Amino acid sequence: MLSVGEDPDEADAQTVRVTLALTGALAMDGKMIRSHVVLELQDVDNADVAMLGCVAPLVPEDTIVPVVSHDIVGKLMVQCSREAPHLSKCFGALLCFDGSECYFSEWDAGEGHHDDGLTGKTFGDALYCFAEAAVFGIRFADPSNAEAKKINPKERPVMLNPPRDYVLQLGDKVLVLAEDNDTYEYGPSNHPLKTPVPPWVQPPPDPEKVLLCGWRRDFDDLLTELDQWLAPGSSLTLFNGFEEKEMKRTLAQGGMAPPTNITEICYVTGDPCSAIQIGRLGPAKLEGEAEDDRLHASKYRIEEFDSIMMLSEEGRAGGMSADSRVMVSMLVMRHISDQRVEQRSGKERLLVTEIRDPRTQSLMSLTKASDAVVGNEIVAMILAQVSEDKDLMYVMEDLFSEEGMEMHVKDIRLFVEGNEAVTWWDLIGRCTQRNMLPIGWVRYADFDTENGEAVLPLLNPDADRKNESLVWHGSDFQGDQLVVIALD
């Protein structure tokens, strides 16, 4: 059920009303809805209220699946600002129906499956038994049984990247990425000889200077999420059309707790699409510039920020209009940064934008933005996926949350030595030693980047590529990467 209307509370109330009418009308006729109902909501605070629209004897938790679109897009923006440029493309590849998708499947003995099935084997054994799929989680048959509770004390039905020694119980299902539900099967193990991971250690993240342009509802939730992902000692600059007092008042009304990792917040009032105002950010006076021309509330100039997030403007009619302003802002920021004498050094800066119309994505690449998140498209794909299997909502909740297991894009040097050739099965073993699970990769050698061919992630490589020994290239800039499920 799609949300209709611009006002969040009004739209969510209408959704609850329709749910009540749908379930209640059938109950009055002595009938019962047999499918689950997927609801798109606009405000996370209305998720619990939506469950009240389910009429007895139906069980709300088994019938209603709320999807809070606004919350998901905000979390996706934060994650992509941490691991651009490929993370949003990984989410797109994971959620779309063109390619590999998520499936739960049970492989017990006596149903024509290989050998004696997975029951009684460990999750670690299952990782190597699907040549056409990538295994990355389980759906417990009974989350409250003794074995499941050892690793899953909260008794959640689905767990991503569980311990390798968990023994699969009768009725447990494995969660895989596969082309379709009939394109993969359980087969002989491809377990290779165990080889050690390289000694290379990824440096801990440094404190960052983050610029967040624009404003949105539940801004306090967005900042709380961002604070959890940043390194301690980071600085945040808010740049939008509100006065500082109004920003602080709105955040306080939303119940925002004092940040933990963000030690400094600067409030800048202005237009993030104005070339003049973008150029005036920062306290330092440039040559030929009057002192009072500076936007003193910003302690840093545009080229000094480590990452920049540009939010789409809410309430602006039409996605193309909002996207045009985002695009202009990105072009101006890039241009001014390139023109400044002081050039950045060290790690590459991340510029992540939120866009509303998928048609803007190809143009956005011309702005040299690190990543462009098409929020509406991602939400639509989630709704479609969950409508097919409600248990996939547990997967989405984990993937879009800082707590627990999420999808990450990791430097290949964590798993492979320089010029070393390894197979997919080798990578599983090495990821396991770092408590991670691979679901795909990003290989620059697979693309003609000189002629402008976009580098895209490949999730769940086919069986031939899994068996192929590939040489990997690690680098601080544009090195190969592995798409994994990991704690952080």
End-to-end CA distance of the chain: 33
Distance CA 290, CA 310 (A): 28
Q: Which residues of 8-33 are buried (b: 16+ CB within 10 A; e: fewer)?
A: beebbbebbeebeebbeeeeeeeeeb
Q: Average model confidence (pLDDT) for the chain?
A: 85
Regarding whether 296 and 364 lie in a shared domain, the answer is: yes
Q: Which of 57-61, 386-390, 443-447 has the lowest mean pLDDT?
A: 57-61
Regarding whether 246 and 321 lie in a shared domain, the answer is: yes
Model pLDDT, residue 428: 96
pLDDT tens column, 66-89: 898 888 888 888 888 887 677 888
pLDDT tens column, 241-291: 999 999 999 999 988 889 999 999 999 999 998 888 898 888 766 555 555
- Which tokens is 31 given? 């009938």
Distance CA 471, CA 473 (A): 7
Q: Prior bond to 85 cis, omega within 30?
A: yes
Phi, psi of 122 (to 5 degrees): -85, 160
Regarding whether 323 and 277 lie in a shared domain, the answer is: yes
Residue 71 forms part of a structural domain: no
All residues at 6 or more sequence positions from 366 whose CB lies less than 8 Å from its CB, including other chains: none
All residues at 6 or more sequence positions from 185 whose CB lies less than 8 Å from its CB, including other chains: 113, 114, 130, 132
Regarding whether 364 and 448 lie in a shared domain, the answer is: no
State the residue for tokens 């299952």. 126
The model carries a pTM of 0.85
- Which tokens is 415 given? 């798993």
41 is in which domain, residue-wise? Answer: 8-58
Q: Does 17 or 448 have the greater pLDDT score? A: 17
Q: Which residues of 306-320 are buried (b: 16+ CB within 10 A; e: fewer)?
A: bbbbbbbbeeeeebe
Residue 46 forms part of a structural domain: yes
Q: 307-310 and 262-269: which strand pairing?
A: unpaired
Helix (H) or strand (E) holding 380: helix 375-388
- Classified as helix, coil or strand, 38 is strand
Q: Which of 190-194, 341-345, 385-389 has the lowest mean pLDDT?
A: 341-345
Regarding whether 358 and 424 lie in a shared domain, the answer is: no
Regarding whether 429 and 359 lie in a shared domain, the answer is: no
Q: Specify the CATH number for the domain of residue 361.
A: 3.40.50.720
Q: List, in sequence order, every residue forming a beta bridge with 64; answer none if it has no partner.
A: 37
- Which tokens is 156 given? 């959640």
Model pLDDT, residue 323: 81
Residue 260 forms part of a structural domain: yes
Distance CA 311, CA 323 (A): 10
Q: In 106-202, where do the E strands start and end?
A: 134-139, 158-160, 173-178
Q: What angle do CA 351, 43, 77 make, to 5 degrees?
A: 10
Regarding whether 329 and 451 lie in a shared domain, the answer is: no
Residue 183 forms part of a structural domain: no
Regarding whether 371 and 244 lie in a shared domain, the answer is: yes
Q: Does 14 or 371 have the greater pLDDT score? A: 14
Task: Report which DSSP code applies to 172.
Answer: -
Model pLDDT, residue 165: 95
Q: Which of 202-206, 268-272, 362-366, 456-460 has the lowest mean pLDDT?
A: 362-366
Regarding whether 341 and 274 lie in a shared domain, the answer is: yes
Q: Does 139 or 97 have the greater pLDDT score? A: 139
Q: 470-471 and 421-422: which strand pairing?
A: antiparallel
Q: Determine the residue type at 334.
A: R
Write out the DSSP string of 79-98. HHHHHTTTHHHHHHHHHSSS
- Of 326, 345, 378, the one marking the end of a domain is 378
Regarding whether 411 and 290 lie in a shared domain, the answer is: no
Q: 350-355 and 307-310: which strand pairing?
A: parallel
> In the sheet where 406-411 sits, what is the strand order?
406-411, 481-486, 437-442, 458-459
* Domains: count for the chain: 3
Q: How confident is the model at residue 369 (pLDDT cuts 50, 70, 90)?
A: low
Q: Which residues of 428-464 are buried (b: 16+ CB within 10 A; e: fewer)?
A: bbbbbeeebbbbbbbbeeeeeeeeeeebebbbbbeee
Regarding whether 438 and 322 lie in a shared domain, the answer is: no
Distance CA 115, CA 127 (A): 16
Residue 324 forms part of a structural domain: yes
